[in-house]
Amino acid sequence: MTLNSRSRLLITGGTGSFGRAFIHHVLKKSPEVKRVVVYSRDELKQWELQQLYPEKKYPQLRLFLGDIRDQERLKLALEGIDTVVHAAALKQVPAAEYNPMEFIRTNVLGADNLVKACLSTEVQRVVALSTDKAAAPINLYGASKLCSDKLFIAANNIKGSRNLKFSVVRYGNVMGSRGSVIPFFINQSQKGKIPITDKHMTRFNIVLSESIDMVLWALKEALGGEIFVPKIPSYRIMDLAEAIGPSCTKVITGIRPGEKIHEEMITVADSYTTCELGKYYGILPSDKRVEEVYKRNGRKIVKVEEGFSYNSGNNKDFLSVNQLRELIRKHVDINFQPI
C-alpha cells in the first residue's frame, strides 16, 4: 500500500527504530502524502530527524513533541489526521519487572489515551504495534501490551457510527532494532564472550522492511478488530551466537526475570478464532462480529485447525547459521564480520 496525496498520517513513537524506518519508507514511496506527523517525547531524536528531513525539502513532515500519557496533547496532535500508527511503548523486559507502573502508564494508559483521542477527532484508521510477548504473557511488558491490544480491539465496540477502525499487528523480534539481542551479541563478541541465558531458547525473527510492509498491509486490509500475525521464521539462540561469534566463548547466564524459553504469537486458545490470510494470520474477536463483517465484504474465512498454536519453538521454518549471518550483514551492520 502507498499513502495518497490526501493521507494525513501520525505515528506515535516516531523516533524509534520502527518509526524512523517507517517515515523513511513513506517519504520515499509516497512523497505526495499530505502530512506526516511524528509524535514522540524525545527532543534530541526529533532534532536528528529534522537534520535528515529538512522542512524546505519535506514540508509535509511535522515534528510534534508530546507523551502518549498526555491525552490533551494527543488530541491536539490528531487534529486533521486520518491515519494513526501506534508504535510508542516502553519495551525492555527486565526494566518492566522493576518499574511496572511506568510501563502501565505508557503501554496501557497511553493506549487508552490514544483510543479516546481518536474517538474525539476525525481519525479513520488505527493500527497498533504489538509483540509476541503479549501472547500468554509471563512478564509485565507482555501483560501491558496484551492490555493495550485489548483496548484497541474493544475500541471498535464504542466507535458508534464513526468511520473508524482499530486493529493490531503482532510480530516477533525485529532484527537489529535498538536494544535487541543481535546488536548486543555483536558488541559482546568484540570481548570474546557471548552471554546466553538458556541454550534451548528460540525467537521469531522479522526484518524492519517486513514489519513496515505488514503495517501498510493492515492499514489497507483491516476491517477493524483483528490482531494480525505474520508467518515468519524462528532462530535458535545458539545458532545466532554461532553466526555472530563462532570463535567466541558461549557463557550460559540463566534466564532473566520475565523471560521465556520460546515465544508465542498465537496460543491454543486463540486458534478457535484464528484464520489464514495468505502471508499472515488473523486473530478475530470471539464475539463473531468481525467474522460477519468479513462475510459482508465477500472475504472468505479459512480457519486454522482447533488446537493450533504458533510458537517459536515448534515453528516449521528455522533460519540456519549461514542465513542468519547473511541477514545480519544485510539488515544490521554492513561491516559485520563473524569473530
pLDDT tens digits, one per residue of 153-176: 999 999 999 999 999 999 988 997
SS3 letters for 290-307? HHHHHHHCCCCCEECCCC
Task: For residue 134, give the DSSP letter.
Answer: G
Selection from 60, 83, 91 nearest residue 12 by Cα: 83
Instruction: Specify whether 145 is catalytic.
Output: no
The pLDDT-based confidence of 46 (bands split at 50, 70, 90) is very high
pLDDT reading at 334 higher than 60: no
Please compute Rg for the chain using Cα positions.
20
Give pLDDT, residue 271: 95
pLDDT tens digits, one per residue of 63-99: 999 999 999 999 999 999 999 999 999 999 989 999 9
pTM of the model: 0.94
Give pLDDT, residue 134: 97
Cα 248 from chain centre: 31
Handedness of CA 155, 90, 184, 239 (dihedral sign): negative
The pLDDT-based confidence of 227 (bands split at 50, 70, 90) is very high
In the chain, the amino acid numbered 173 is N
Domains of the chain and any CATH numbers: 8-172+205-232+264-310 (3.40.50.720)
Report d(CA 35, CA 38) in Å as an integer.
10
In the chain, the amino acid numbered 272 is Y
Selection from 267, 282, 177 nearest residue 222 by Cα: 282
Polymer length in residues for the chain: 339
The pLDDT-based confidence of 2 (bands split at 50, 70, 90) is low
User: Which one is catalytic: 29, 34, 75, 133?
Assistant: 133
